[in-house]
Structure 1
């Protein structure tokens, strides 16, 4: 028995010389192998907070994986079209202004291919429709030889101008989403939730340290087979120094747990993600409202051109 106590004492002394990191690693390995005598349990409220933080993290990652497309200007740009540098050189409204002063097909073509006055035009679906509509309008105008204007060409030009305005509204929406939603959710994920993750790691570190200390001072550093000697876990056999070491580790564990609870509560209770989501919705509503207004203004104009063409066609046939 005396020999065993001497061996146990030497193990304890050796354990005290192990670095804290190695001690925690050793304890973690024992737990994974099922060799740990006791594992300090975390409070149920703490575990519940961990689950809520994990769920919130997953929500942010899933939503950002989709909505981050708002940072990509060309997220709806048709992949099958081939636009040239000249196509993207000027805005549709600029080209229409230049075309209005053209007096010949050559001048009209020059207006369409005028050198850029600013940065290349946006590659969005609506801007692409606008450019295609204007080019189509001009193709019809150039082949129109009768008196008056080609109604379809006129309608396409007006449609091009409207689509460009819708495209600009989409870009305004995207800018609002980036600043009012994406920025906030990225901050929550990369800052607030990251702080919570660090706090949880500190708790786990303190717990492993506590359990490693307990195992070491009680002489249960590792199970070599068979039951531990009787009385080996008796708290009364612990020296004052060993008891003090355990209490110090317990205090650190409690402190880290309380700090982590505070950090995690702040993460799960903050209204910021919901506020950001409301901003996302507001930006989308504003875009669709603007698009509706633009297209509603255009619809009666197109309808009027269509009615005029039908009437003209009917009149022409009546004289035949």
Structure 2
């Protein structure tokens, strides 16, 4: 029986603050409260900054989370078969170099996969389309050597595949160095700040509930008179109300100071800026590699084009 009684006391002790907070909150929402404890201006300013930080994390992650999806730039109108995605362009080119007949060349293009399906990125799709186009031209070419356009398309295919691999490397860097960091800030650091702010709000509601309770009970400070004009007495009920308000005030001040520390720590951490720098570095590295790959390819294709023009001109003058 004593255990049941103790449980009842503990339940009442934990339930009473919840009930008091809830009642105070409902009264405030219904506009039945005139006097509400105000938070310090500096605290309110920190709350606004935390809210802004949370919003920009949500907004940026909403967009940059696309780096977690391989096919974010893969055209929807492309229809590639299982064989198209079976081998890398580099593997197919290697097989084509050993082909001695059109049938062997076709077999090289449709060779069974050696590993997982090839990536679905825009650059990889261009590479596969370029190689297939190259072989289609070459199969119909009747001249000596290699069709110039077919040769250029094959080289473009190899370059595009390298650009696609560079894009995948960029995505991996962004996922590990930016997305992971900003997700941690949003789901951990900012959650700590939210929890601390909730503690402040709960303690504020308890404080205002205690103040409201003291007014409704007719408690007055010593020397004050009640509505009947009788000086308030410092009896047991008065002392209990005073102690309850003082404890609530101490809790409110303590929760506010703790929340200020937590919010300042979240706002001052350099992690988000460091993560953003990593995002930019990954993008820069990708575009740098793409530039280098295409810079190597451009003069080669230009050379093939000039060579074709010279040959064509010679044929006309012959």
Q: Does 1:48 align with 2:45?
A: yes
Post-superposition shift, 1:37? 3.8
Structure 1 counterpart of 2:7? none
TM-score (norm 1): 0.89
Post-superposition shift, 1:234? 7.4
Structure 2 counterpart of 1:204? 201
Post-superposition shift, 1:229? 3.6
Where in structure 2 are the equivalents of 1:27-66 lying within 5 Å?
A: 27-66=24-63
Q: 1:75 aligns with which of 68, 72, 79?
A: 72
Q: Does 1:215 align with 2:212?
A: yes
* Inter-CA distance 220–176: structure 2 relative to 1 (3 Å threshold): farther
How far apart, CA to CA, are the structure 2 residues paired with 1:229 and 1:136?
A: 96
How far apart, CA to CA, are the structure 1 residues paired with 2:90 and 2:233?
A: 86
How far apart, CA to CA, are the structure 2 residues paired with 1:87 and 1:44?
A: 63
Structure 2 counterpart of 1:265? 264
* Inter-CA distance 196–315: structure 2 relative to 1 (3 Å threshold): same
How far apart, CA to CA, are the structure 1 residues paired with 2:24 and 2:198?
A: 15
Post-superposition shift, 1:38? 1.8
Q: Which runs of 5+ in 2 are unaligned?
A: 1-11, 219-225
How far apart, CA to CA, are the structure 2 residues paired with 1:235 and 1:210?
A: 23
RMSD of the TM alignment (CA)?
2.2
- Alignment length, in residue pairs? 299
How far apart, CA to CA, are the structure 1 residues paired with 2:82 and 2:299?
A: 34
How far apart, CA to CA, are the structure 2 residues paired with 1:170 and 1:44?
A: 47
User: Per-residue CA shift, 1:83-129, capped at 9, x if unaligned?
Assistant: 00000000000000000000000000000000000000000000000
* Inter-CA distance 54–313: structure 2 relative to 1 (3 Å threshold): same
Structure 1 counterpart of 2:288? 289
Structure 1 counterpart of 2:167? 170
Q: Which runs of 5+ in 1 are unaligned?
A: 1-14, 222-227
Q: Does 1:124 align with 2:121?
A: yes
* Inter-CA distance 105–246: structure 2 relative to 1 (3 Å threshold): same
Q: Does 1:242 align with 2:241?
A: yes
User: Per-residue CA shift, 1:125-173, capped at 9, x if unaligned?
Assistant: 0000000000000000100111111000000000000000000000000
Structure 2 counterpart of 1:182? 179
Structure 1 counterpart of 2:145? 148
How far apart, CA to CA, are the structure 1 residues paired with 2:15 and 2:91?
A: 76
User: Per-residue CA shift, 1:17-52, capped at 9, x if unaligned?
Assistant: 972211111111111222224211111110000000
4+ residue runs over 3 A deviation? 15-18, 228-238
Asked if the contact 1:213–1:245 (Cα under 8 Å) also holds between the matched residues in 2, the reply is yes
TM-score (norm 2): 0.90
Asked if the contact 1:133–1:156 (Cα under 8 Å) also holds between the matched residues in 2, the reply is yes
How far apart, CA to CA, are the structure 2 residues paired with 1:255 and 1:66?
A: 39
User: Per-residue CA shift, 1:210-257, capped at 9, x if unaligned?
Assistant: 111111122179xxxxxx946799797872221111111111111111
Structure 2 counterpart of 1:313? 312
Asked if the contact 1:87–1:113 (Cα under 8 Å) also holds between the matched residues in 2, the reply is yes
* Inter-CA distance 294–16: structure 2 relative to 1 (3 Å threshold): closer
